[in-house]
């Protein structure tokens, strides 16, 4: 399953806020509803450390192994797409 994440790096504590549905425009200019998780991590957004931390926090949230969480897009962006393998 794909999930959309808004990353908040450099936070005081780690947490995951479940998604709130928002409308976005797709490539055909049609409204599409996407659900965004908001994830706070302590790691700074440097050299991919925040991405690794987000993967670990999401794995803990979904009660799966970190290897089952893969970053698909948004490596250097605050908005990311992760693939969750259950």
What pLDDT does 36 receive? 87
Cα 41 from Cα 64, distance rounded (Å): 18
pLDDT of residue 46: 93
Q: 27-59: string of b/e by CB count within 10 Å (b at 16+)?
A: eeeeeeeeebbebbbebebeeeebbebbbbbbb
Q: With cut-offs at 50, 70 and 90, classify the pLDDT of residue 13.
A: very high
Residue 30: per-residue pLDDT: 66
Q: Provide the pLDDT for residue 48.
A: 92
In the chain the domains, ranked by start, together with CATH numbers, are 2-84 (3.30.1200.10)
- 32-76 tens-digit pLDDT: 666 789 999 999 999 999 999 999 999 999 999 999 999 999 999
Q: Which two tokens stand for residue 58?
A: 């999401």
Global pTM? 0.82
């Amino acid at each position: 399953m794909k999930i959309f994440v808004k990353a908040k790096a450099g936070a005081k504590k780690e947490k995951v806020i479940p998604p709130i549905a928002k409308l976005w425009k797709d490539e055909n200019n049609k409204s599409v509803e996407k659900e965004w998780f908001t994830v706070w991590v302590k790691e700074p957004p440097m050299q991919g450390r925040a991405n690794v931390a987000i993967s670990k926090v999401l794995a803990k949230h979904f009660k799966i192994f970190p290897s089952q969480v893969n970053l698909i897009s948004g490596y250097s962006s605050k908005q990311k797409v992760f693939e969750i393998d259950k």
